[in-house]
Amino acid sequence: MKTRDRILVTSLALFNEEGEAHSTTIDIANELDISPGNLYYHFKGKDQIIAELFHQYEVALSGTLAAPIESPLGSERGQVEDNWYFLYVVLEEMYQYRFFYHNLDDILQRYPDIRRKFRRLMQLKRAALFAICQALMQQSVIDTEDQQLLSLVDNMTLVLNFWLNYDQLLHGERDPQITIHQGVLQLLTMVAPYLGEEQITFYRDCESIYADMLAIDDD
């Protein structure tokens, strides 16, 4: 792996574990066992590293979020669950860059360019969730009025955007699979009142899986 890529990988791990605000370029260089000058050759400071990490995140998540907008997920009978699995993928990608969400207000204040791009990502998340819910309504998987649909999508977007921050503040660091699964479950909880019997069963299964995960984590 090239030094530049190693710097990005190590920075991401350090920011996620220690927090971006508490990690300096000296910390990154020490973690890599390289000189600060070597790091400076590739990045002129932490700001450039953060900007590049956000670019990576933006490209990856934008590509994922485009999928349900471009074509309905699980349009074939028996494949409706693809929509719910999609939420897992989104939260997993968000979790990989969770330091942005753990210190979101501060980062958006310090980096206007990231704030502008983050707003676009948030709009794209909303568009993806709207596409999913609209397709499910057209397939009679969920039963809701148009105005209720808009409120549902807004609430789901709110939870999706701030789940990692909420979870970290409430629980601190814990098993990432529990964090991600509970995030998906929270989103499904908002959809549950509008689901038919078949999909309610899937929702109940998700609840059972989450309960089992908590029981194992407590052992």
Residues 6 and 94 in one domain: no
> 44 vs 142, which has greater pLDDT?
44
Asked if pLDDT for residue 118 goes beyond 60, the answer is: yes
Q: How far apart are the C-alpha atoms of 75 and 50, rounded to whole Å?
A: 38
What CATH code is carried by the domain that includes residue 22? 1.10.10.60
CA angle centred on 215, ends 102 and 84, rounded to 5°: 60
Which residues are bridge partners to 195 per DSSP? 142
Task: Give the whole-number percent of the chain exceeding pLDDT 90.
Answer: 65
pLDDT tens, residue by residue, 35-48:
999 999 999 999 99
Residues 38 and 68 in one domain: no
Residues 66 and 31 in one domain: no
Q: Give the pLDDT band (50/70/90) at residue 159.
A: very high
Q: How confident is the model at residue 84 (pLDDT cuts 50, 70, 90)?
A: confident
Identify whether the C-beta of residue 117 lies closer than 8 Å to the C-beta of residue 58: yes
Say if residue 31 is in the same domain as residue 59.
Answer: no
What does the pLDDT look like over 174-212, one tens digit per residue? 899 999 989 998 998 888 888 877 677 777 777 787 777
pTM, full prediction = 0.90
Between 174 and 63, where is the model more confident?
Answer: 63
160 and 112 in a common domain: yes
Q: Output 168 or 202, whichever has higher pLDDT.
A: 168
Higher pLDDT, 172 or 215: 172
115 shares a domain with 35 = no
Nearest to 184 by CA among 91, 107, 95: 91
Query: Does 109 lie in the same domain as 146?
Result: yes
Range of the domain at 10: 1-44
Do 179 and 164 contact (CB within 8 A), yes or no?
A: yes
State residue 39's pLDDT score: 95
Total count of domains within the chain: 2
Query: Is 21 found in the same domain as 74?
Result: no
- What pLDDT shows up at residue 76? 59
**Residue percentage of the chain with pLDDT more than 70:** 95
Same domain, yes or no: 24 and 55 = no
Phi, psi of 195 (to 5 degrees): -85, 150
